[in-house]
Structure 1
Amino acid sequence: MKIFSNTISILDQALDYSTTKQKVISQNIANVDTPNYKAQEVLPFKTVLKNELKNTKHLSAQITNNKHIPFSPSENGTVTIVKNNIQYNESGNSVDVDQEMTKLAENQIYYNALIDRISGKFQTLQSVIKGGK
């Protein structure tokens, strides 16, 4: 039996995505002066899958041995990639701090909107439990 609606589950997944993105962006900013550090980016799993399907005609995975790793997305449906083909300075670092700060601000707005929405859902549940009082 599900206690919460699909909306709350989707909001939970979106919060996981936003949290992962926040960690990766913060790591990029923290390593802005680290030589040869390659910036990372978080992509939703569906974007990665779409790109892979464009490059292949058929995507399948078969487990033929019990030691094989199951073929499935990460828990929160995201994939972190490393940007290897970009270099912004002579030290080999690929972090553009202005771009990362913009991503950080966008992600913060997204996160705050999700928090407001899930808070509203819980307030509605609380009101229903109290009988509308």
Structure 2
Amino acid sequence: MNSITNNTLLMMERSMDFLWTKQTAILDNLANVETPNYKTKYVTFEEAFRSRLQAAANGSALDMRDALEGAQATIHVADNETARMDGNGVDATEQSIELARNALQQQHVMNAISTDLALIRTAIRGQ
């Protein structure tokens, strides 16, 4: 499969992995909105992704495909944030907005993946 996929498709795959991880963290936050001392989880991906791509572009031991394949989302816990008196750090409204934003981002990436796969399918069929 690697011979017919390009870096763009691999980048979109990594983006979907990130968005899935982000959605899981948001859903965990919303499920624990009433749990005392629960701290909000958040996910980062862009910084690690950017640094891996820059390392590959600067001629390190990584090639571009390895940089894309190795990029992972990181889950963090906001230890110093509290939204309520019981120590819970979840802002339900903010998390609901992030969940909606994440769903729109997933839809956009899925549309882009579908478009790329349709182009590959067209090329294979020779149309």
TM over 0.5: yes
Q: Distance between the aligned counterparts of 2:50 and 2:35, measured in 1?
A: 31
Which string of whole-angstrom CA distances, capped at 9 and with x for unpartnered residues, describes residues 8-49 of structure 1?
A: 000000000000000000000000001110010001162699
Q: Are the aligned partners of 2:49 and 2:72 in contact in 1 as well (CA < 8 Å)?
A: no
Which structure dedicates a bigger proportion of its chain to helix?
Answer: 2
Aligned with 2:119 (options 121, 124, 131): 124
1:98 is matched with which residue? 93
TM-score, with structure 2 as normaliser: 0.78
Which string of whole-angstrom CA distances, capped at 9 and with x for unpartnered residues, describes residues 43-97 of structure 1?
A: 11626998xxxxxxxxxxxxxxxxxxxxxxxx54221110111111121100000
Q: How many residues align?
A: 109
Aligned-residue identity in percent: 29
2:60 is matched with which residue? none
Q: Are the aligned partners of 1:17 and 1:76 in contact in 2 as well (CA < 8 Å)?
A: no
Q: Distance between the aligned counterparts of 2:115 and 2:39, measured in 1?
A: 39
Structure 1 residue matching 2:43: 3-state secondary structure:
strand
Residue ranges of structure 2 left out of the alignment (5+ in a row): 52-69
Deviant stretches of 4+, over 2 Å: 47-50
Alpha-carbon offset, residue 2 of structure 1: 2.9
Tell me which structure has the larger Cα radius of gyration.
1
Aligned with 1:78 (options 70, 73, 80): 73
Residue ranges of structure 1 left out of the alignment (5+ in a row): 51-74
Residues 76 and 123 of structure 1, relative CA distance in 2, 3 Å threshold: same
RMSD (CA atoms): 2.2
Q: Distance between the aligned counterparts of 1:39 and 1:15, measured in 2?
A: 22
Q: Distance between the aligned counterparts of 1:122 and 1:49, measured in 2?
A: 25
User: Which letter does structure 2 place at the counterpart of 1:96?
Assistant: D
User: Which letter does structure 2 place at the counterpart of 1:3?
Assistant: I
Q: Are the aligned partners of 2:48 and 2:71 in contact in 1 as well (CA < 8 Å)?
A: no
Q: Are the aligned partners of 2:48 and 2:72 in contact in 1 as well (CA < 8 Å)?
A: no
Return 77-86 or 96-105, whichever deviates more.
77-86
Q: Are the aligned partners of 2:16 and 2:109 in contact in 1 as well (CA < 8 Å)?
A: yes
